[in-house]
Amino acid sequence: MLDAGPDLRQQALRHRLNRLDAILFTHNHVDHTFGLDEVRRFNITMDAPIDLYAEAPTMAHLKRVYAHIFDRASNVQDSFVATIIAHELKADRELVLWGMRFTPIRLLHGRLPVLGYRIEPEAADSPMGNDPDGWWPLAYCTDVSAIPPESWAKLTGLQTLVLDALRRRKHPTHFTLGQAVGVAHEVEAARTYFVHMAHDLPHEPTSADLPPTMTLAHDGLSLGGLPLDGQQHEG
Ligand SMILES: [Zn+2]
Ligand SMILES: [Zn+2]
How confident is the model over 35-56, as pLDDT tens digits? Answer: 999 999 999 999 999 999 999 9
pLDDT band at 124 (very low <50, low <70, confident <90, very high): confident
* Of the residues 89, 109, 141, the one at which a domain ends: 89
Are both 72 and 98 inside the same structural domain? no
Q: At 196, which CATH number?
A: 3.60.15.10
pLDDT of residue 73: 94
Of the ligands numbered here, which is closest to the C-alpha atom of 108?
1
Taking phi over 0 as left and psi of -120 to 50 as alpha, with beta for the rest, 24 belongs to beta
What's the 199 CA to ligand 2 centre distance in angstroms?
14
Residue 132 lies in a domain: yes
- The number of beta carbons lying within 10 Å of the beta carbon of residue 224 is 10
The per-residue pLDDT for range 175-219, each reduced to its tens digit, is 999 999 999 999 999 999 999 999 999 999 999 999 999 999 998
Residue 109 lies in a domain: yes
Of the ligands numbered here, which is closest to the C-alpha atom of 27?
1
What's the 148 CA to ligand 2 centre distance in angstroms?
19
Residue 55 lies in a domain: yes
Are both 107 and 79 inside the same structural domain? no
Residue 4 lies in a domain: yes
- Mapping DSSP onto H, E and C, the string for the chain reads CECCCCCHHHHHHHCCCCCCCEEECCCCCHHHHCCHHHHHHHHHHHCCCEEEEEEHHHHHHHHHHCHHHHCHHHCCCCCCCCCEEEEEECCCCCEEECCEEEEEEEEEECCEEEEEEEEEECCCCCCCCCCCCCCCCEEEECCCCECCHHHHHHHCCCCEEEEECCCCCCCCCCCCHHHHHHHHHHHCCCEEEEECCCCCCCHHHHHHCCCCCEEECCCCCCCCCCEECCEECCC
The tally of domains found in the chain comes to 2
pLDDT band at 225 (very low <50, low <70, confident <90, very high): very low
Residue 125 lies in a domain: yes
Residue 225 lies in a domain: no
Chain mean pLDDT for the chain: 93
Percent of the chain topping pLDDT 90: 86
pLDDT band at 128 (very low <50, low <70, confident <90, very high): confident
Residue 226 lies in a domain: no
* Of the residues 89, 107, 133, the one at which a domain ends: 89
pLDDT of residue 58: 98
Residue 72, pLDDT > 50, answer yes
Of 157 and 98, the one with more pLDDT: 157
What's the 85 CA to ligand 1 centre distance in angstroms?
24
Mean pLDDT of 79-94: 96
Residue 232 lies in a domain: no
Are both 58 and 112 inside the same structural domain? no
pLDDT of residue 227: 45
Are both 211 and 134 inside the same structural domain? yes
pLDDT of residue 231: 41
What's the 138 CA to ligand 2 centre distance in angstroms?
19
Are both 105 and 72 inside the same structural domain? no
Are both 186 and 101 inside the same structural domain? yes
Strand arrangement of the beta sheet that strand 138-141 belongs to:
95-97, 100-109, 112-121, 138-141, 160-164, 191-195, 214-216
Are both 72 and 111 inside the same structural domain? no
pLDDT of residue 67: 97
- Residues less than 5 Å from ion ligand 1, measured at CB: 29, 143
Are both 7 and 24 inside the same structural domain? yes
Are both 188 and 100 inside the same structural domain? yes
* Of the residues 48, 64, 89, the one at which a domain ends: 89
Are both 53 and 110 inside the same structural domain? no
pLDDT band at 130 (very low <50, low <70, confident <90, very high): confident
The per-residue pLDDT for range 170-185, each reduced to its tens digit, is 999 999 999 999 999 9
Are both 100 and 215 inside the same structural domain? yes
The domain in which residue 23 lies consists of 1-89
Of the ligands numbered here, which is closest to the C-alpha atom of 61?
1
What's the 139 CA to ligand 1 centre distance in angstroms?
17
What's the 195 CA to ligand 2 centre distance in angstroms?
10
What's the 110 CA to ligand 1 centre distance in angstroms?
9
Are both 76 and 108 inside the same structural domain? no
